[in-house]
A and B are shown apart, each in its own frame.
Chain A
Amino acid sequence: MMADQETAVAGGHDGGHDGGHGHHPTGWRRWLFSTNHKDIGTMYIVLSLVAALVGGAMSFWIRLELLDPGIQFNVFGAGEEAAYFQFYNVLVTGHAFIMVFFVVMPALIGGFGNWFVPLMIGAPDMAFPRMNNVSFWLLAAALVLLLVAAFTQGGPGTGWTIYPPLSNADFHPGAAVDLGILSLHLAGASSVLGAINLITTIFNMRAPGMTIHRMPLFCWSILVTAFLLLMAIPVLAGGLTMLLTDRNFGTAFFDAARGGDPVLWQHIFWFFGHPEVYIIIIPAFGIVSQVVSTFSRKPIFGYLGMVYAMVFIGFVGFVVWAHHMYTAGLDVDTRAYFISASLVIAVPTGIKIFSWLATMWGGSIDFRVPMMFACGFIFLFVMGGVTGVALANAGMDIAFHDTYFVVAHFHYVMAIAAVFGMFTGFYYWIGKMCGRQYPRVLARIHFWSFFIGVNVVFFPQHFSGMAGMPRRIPDYPDNYWGWNYVSSIGAFITTASTLLFFFIVWRTLTAGEKVPANQWGEGATTLEWTVESPAPFHTFEELPDMTDKQADE
């Protein structure tokens, strides 16, 4: 207490040396040396948009290749089919890594998390502003490494799961997989530092009166996500290190011939990998909760239930990993446990779905574009969740494993759902971020074309998958042609819709109409709507006092 008073007095005449207060850095230094949560959040979103073009182009190539049976685009020429098959696998791998680590995570956690966690809890910035910047630039470095890896000695064609023996030095000699591993190391360091930053910010910097149980659900979702990152990423780092030394320094962790165990890699990878898919989707839960509440003009239904459903999903997410490994030869007791544990997750996710619906129930619903995307999210997430319940059963999964049914499932439940979460957040908050409104008609066209497009892509994959269409292969028997063709038509719609989105971004930034501090009206009750739009460089230098406010009011 003494020290507090002293520093408060000292701060009275010595705030001037603090760059954060007096002058705003300008030019390239503003971005490269940034310690401002909004600028760093913006850089994350820009990186995400750039990476989305690369990752999206990769998936478009995949769908074009699968449009017809046979090989369509062998860029390596006749007689070089093996090189093209490897290239196809690199596309699949690159698409996954880029979308997971460089599109969804930077947008939802680095971008919206950075921008809106401090604003929503009434804090002037993040807890560790310099560390915030190193999180971003490490991710940029990781993206460089990954892109270089794709063009090095045939590229990493391992899939995002990097299973040995395919990923070991026998089957992937050369530098590509090593570059990929180090890319993930840097991306992981970025994520762990970001997680530490977000947790400390949320625990230590909430405005007076904002108790943890009054905190907006988006902040809760980021808090849970950050804990998952903190605990899961180091596990991947350890496994990647073993893979690296197996490949280059003669260790035998995953080498069965020398006493190692390739299945150990699968355990380690999925101990990280399962929490990772929750890392991707939980921030979207948070955004959707804010948006559903805002546009139903009601507080969220069952706030505490929503909070602890997320906490429970996060916790149980750590003890279900082997449901990705039902065909790896686990004994039946182990599989029985992982089935039951996985099915349990349907309970808290059900709580979330029904609470969103109950929030809308009897509300004064305003179908603005963010609300449309939020409803789209709920539909897609439920679709993917239902097939998830099917796949959680080992008996069924042994038939579905490595088919397009699994591809359809996870794209619905975490990939497309997460992208809908991103668009929800984008349309909800772009006014706050740039001070301008999106073009409404174009945005509605974007929603409908994207919603139809992704469903045309992924819904038929349930059917081709159940018929036995295998994953990760550029050629297939003629009898899978029909649904593959339909799916590829969906890719054209989705790609056109994505280009429309980039046009919308450009139109918003250059010609959008100016918006007031609270553009959404009485439904928008969280603190970010109390500051002007665009949010000024520094916010809440006078902390807001929430002492007399009700939760979610």
Chain B
Amino acid sequence: MASETTKSHPYHMVAPSPWPAIGSLAALVMAFGGVWYMQEGPIWLFVQGVLILLWVFYRWWRDVVIEARSGVDHTDTVRHGLRMGMVLFITSEVMFFFVFFWAYFNATVPFLSGVAHDVWPPEGVVPLDPWSVPFLNTVILLSSGATVTYAHHMVRLGDNKRAARWILLTVLLGLIFTGFQAYEYVHATFPFTGGIYSSTFYLATGFHGFHVIIGTIFLIVCWFRARAGHFTPEVHVGFEAAAWYWHFVDVVWLFLFASIYWWGSLSYFTPA
């Protein structure tokens, strides 16, 4: 059969893989461990699940990188599909953040809800000053958007070495951002369990922060890959996906800054 040795189509027929099944098992362990922990049990089972899952991620995506490097599997068509998949994934993430903004506006805009607050922030809540650390973080994150774009230009010029340097700079900006967010959380006067203001603030910014950390890890992987010379001017889907993801968390932050940090504290900092 001719198809034993050649393929006449541009698609990637992936070999069987243990990672999906093991990853699902890890998710099941995480779920049981998480419930056990929430029911006042120990946390080790949850951590166990997380560790297996991280190992699966490492092995699975290591396989993807090997396939990409083979020069056979990732044809133009396959790479087009991979980029499409990333765009669709980011679309689903947009809808995930949409809910947390909905919860926030539901609490603040009377048009949307019968129980929206007349006074926001609610009495007793001292919000963070948007033009202090949050604005600094805005500048940091926007700058990181610029540096990752510059890294993209370097990749397109075929200069992996300089690309790596600019990716590293992006990673550092991401880490500084995360550090400042942690600092803000530690010093915020409103506790996590302090009611609807805290709920919307911490879950919206918290999930954003979590996504920044994921994006940072994604970029760190790209840094290693750039140093190893993996990217060519034509073929660098992994880096493109990381950069798109980074821009996505960047845009989410702009909405967070404008609506929760700035608009949400207007009445507190500029009393009528």
Residues of A within 8 A of B (CB): 1-4, 6-8, 10-22, 25, 29-30, 32-35, 123-125, 127-131, 133-134, 136-138, 140-141, 144-145, 148, 174-175, 178-179, 182-183, 185-186, 189, 192, 195-197, 199-200, 203-205, 230-235, 237-239, 241-242, 245-253, 255-256, 258-261, 263-264, 267-268, 329, 331, 538, 540-543
> What residue in chain A is nearest B16 (Cβ atoms)?
A33
Do residues A144 and B28 form an inter-chain contact, with CB atoms below 8 A?
Answer: yes
Do residues A264 and B113 form an inter-chain contact, with CB atoms below 8 A?
Answer: yes
Do residues B20 and A541 form an inter-chain contact, with CB atoms below 8 A?
Answer: no
> For B31, B76, B77, B235, which residue has the most chain A Cβ atoms within 10 angstroms?
B31
Do residues B203 and A203 form an inter-chain contact, with CB atoms below 8 A?
Answer: no
Do residues B35 and A182 form an inter-chain contact, with CB atoms below 8 A?
Answer: yes
Do residues A234 and B95 form an inter-chain contact, with CB atoms below 8 A?
Answer: yes
Shortest CB–CB separation between residue B69 and chain A, in angstroms?
12
How many angstroms from the CA of A18 to the CA of B116 in the assembled complex? 58
Do residues A20 and B15 form an inter-chain contact, with CB atoms below 8 A?
Answer: yes
Residues of A within 8 A of B188 (CB): none
Do residues B195 and A259 form an inter-chain contact, with CB atoms below 8 A?
Answer: yes
Do residues A259 and B122 form an inter-chain contact, with CB atoms below 8 A?
Answer: yes
Shortest CB–CB separation between residue A122 and chain B, in angstroms?
10
Q: Does B270 contact A (CB under 8 A)?
A: no
Do residues B3 and A35 form an inter-chain contact, with CB atoms below 8 A?
Answer: no
Do residues B20 and A137 form an inter-chain contact, with CB atoms below 8 A?
Answer: yes
B196-213 near A? 1/0 per residue, CB < 8 Å: 111110110000000000
How many angstroms from the CA of A197 to the CA of B86 in the assembled complex? 11
Q: Does B91 contact A (CB under 8 A)?
A: yes
Do residues A14 and B84 form an inter-chain contact, with CB atoms below 8 A?
Answer: no
Do residues A124 and B16 form an inter-chain contact, with CB atoms below 8 A?
Answer: no
How many angstroms from the CA of A131 to the CA of B81 in the assembled complex? 13
How many angstroms from the CA of A481 to the CA of B200 in the assembled complex? 48
Known: A13-B5, A21-B3, A137-B24. Contact between A130 and B106, CB under 8 A? Answer: no
Q: 4 other contacts beyond A15-B72, A20-B15, A238-B95, with CB at 8 A cut-off?
A: A4-B10, A12-B6, A234-B99, A267-B106
Do residues A268 and B80 form an inter-chain contact, with CB atoms below 8 A?
Answer: no
A-B CB contacts (within 8 Å), total count: 270
Residues of A within 8 A of B21 (CB): 32-33, 133-134, 137
B108-134 near A? 1/0 per residue, CB < 8 Å: 000001110100001000000000000
Shortest CB–CB separation between residue A386 and chain B, in angstroms?
32
Which bracket fits the contact residues of B?
A: 35 or more
> For A6, A21, A231, which residue has the most chain B Cβ atoms within 10 angstroms?
A21
User: What are 13 A-B pairs with beta-carbon distances under 8 A?
Assistant: A3-B234, A4-B10, A19-B13, A133-B21, A175-B39, A192-B89, A197-B85, A199-B84, A205-B81, A241-B203, A253-B103, A259-B115, A268-B103
> What residue in chain A is nearest B89 (Cβ atoms)?
A196
Shortest CB–CB separation between residue A450 and chain B, in angstroms?
34
Q: Does B184 contact A (CB under 8 A)?
A: no
B1-38 near A? 1/0 per residue, CB < 8 Å: 00111111111011111111101110110011011001
Do residues B95 and A186 form an inter-chain contact, with CB atoms below 8 A?
Answer: no
Shortest CB–CB separation between residue B103 and chain A, in angstroms?
6
Residues of A within 8 A of B202 (CB): 251
Q: Does B135 contact A (CB under 8 A)?
A: no
Residues of B within 8 A of A (CB): 3-11, 13-21, 23-25, 27-28, 31-32, 34-35, 38-39, 60, 70-77, 80-81, 84-85, 88-89, 91-93, 95-100, 102-103, 106-107, 113-115, 117, 122, 192-193, 195-200, 202-203, 234-235
Do residues B11 and A261 form an inter-chain contact, with CB atoms below 8 A?
Answer: no
> What residue in chain A is nearest B29 (Cβ atoms)?
A141
> What residue in chain A is nearest B38 (Cβ atoms)?
A248
Residues of B within 8 A of A11 (CB): 6-7, 72
Known: A4-B75, A14-B72. Contact between A133 and B196, CB under 8 A? Answer: no
Shortest CB–CB separation between residue B73 and chain A, in angstroms?
8
- Considering the complex of A and B, which 8 residue pairs feature the smallest CB-CB distances, nearest first? A19-B15, A20-B13, A238-B99, A250-B193, A259-B196, A137-B24, A134-B20, A251-B199
Do residues B103 and A237 form an inter-chain contact, with CB atoms below 8 A?
Answer: no
How many angstroms from the CA of A156 to the CA of B267 in the assembled complex? 42
How many angstroms from the CA of A423 to the CA of B113 in the assembled complex? 43
How many angstroms from the CA of A260 to the CA of B107 in the assembled complex? 7
Interface residue from B7, B14, B38, B200 paired with A15 (Cβ < 8 Å): B7
Residues of B within 8 A of A200 (CB): 81, 84-85, 88
Shortest CB–CB separation between residue A31 and chain B, in angstroms?
9
Do residues A130 and B20 form an inter-chain contact, with CB atoms below 8 A?
Answer: yes
> What residue in chain A is nearest B115 (Cβ atoms)?
A261
Shortest CB–CB separation between residue B115 and chain A, in angstroms?
5
Interface residue from B25, B76, B102, B196 paired with A3 (Cβ < 8 Å): B76
Interface residue from B15, B35, B98, B115 paired with A35 (Cβ < 8 Å): B15
Known: A124-B9, A186-B27. Contact between A25 and B16, CB under 8 A? Answer: yes
> What residue in chain A is nearest B18 (Cβ atoms)?
A33
Do residues A6 and B71 form an inter-chain contact, with CB atoms below 8 A?
Answer: yes
Interface residue from B20, B76, B199 paired with A133 (Cβ < 8 Å): B20
How many angstroms from the CA of A186 to the CA of B53 in the assembled complex? 14
Residues of A within 8 A of B34 (CB): 178, 182
Do residues A235 and B95 form an inter-chain contact, with CB atoms below 8 A?
Answer: yes
Do residues A7 and B20 form an inter-chain contact, with CB atoms below 8 A?
Answer: no
Do residues B99 and A235 form an inter-chain contact, with CB atoms below 8 A?
Answer: yes
Residues of B within 8 A of A543 (CB): 8-9
> What residue in chain A is nearest B13 (Cβ atoms)?
A20
Known: A22-B4, A196-B89, A245-B203. Contact between A133 and B192, CB under 8 A? Answer: no
Do residues B24 and A138 form an inter-chain contact, with CB atoms below 8 A?
Answer: yes
Interface residue from A196, A237, A242 paired with B203 (Cβ < 8 Å): A242
Do residues B70 and A14 form an inter-chain contact, with CB atoms below 8 A?
Answer: yes
> What residue in chain A is nearest B204 (Cβ atoms)?
A238
> For A6, A137, A185, which residue has the most chain B Cβ atoms within 10 angstroms?
A137
How many angstroms from the CA of A263 to the CA of B113 in the assembled complex? 8
Known: A7-B75, A242-B203. Contact between A230 and B4, CB under 8 A? Answer: no
Do residues A129 and B13 form an inter-chain contact, with CB atoms below 8 A?
Answer: yes
Do residues B115 and A131 form an inter-chain contact, with CB atoms below 8 A?
Answer: no
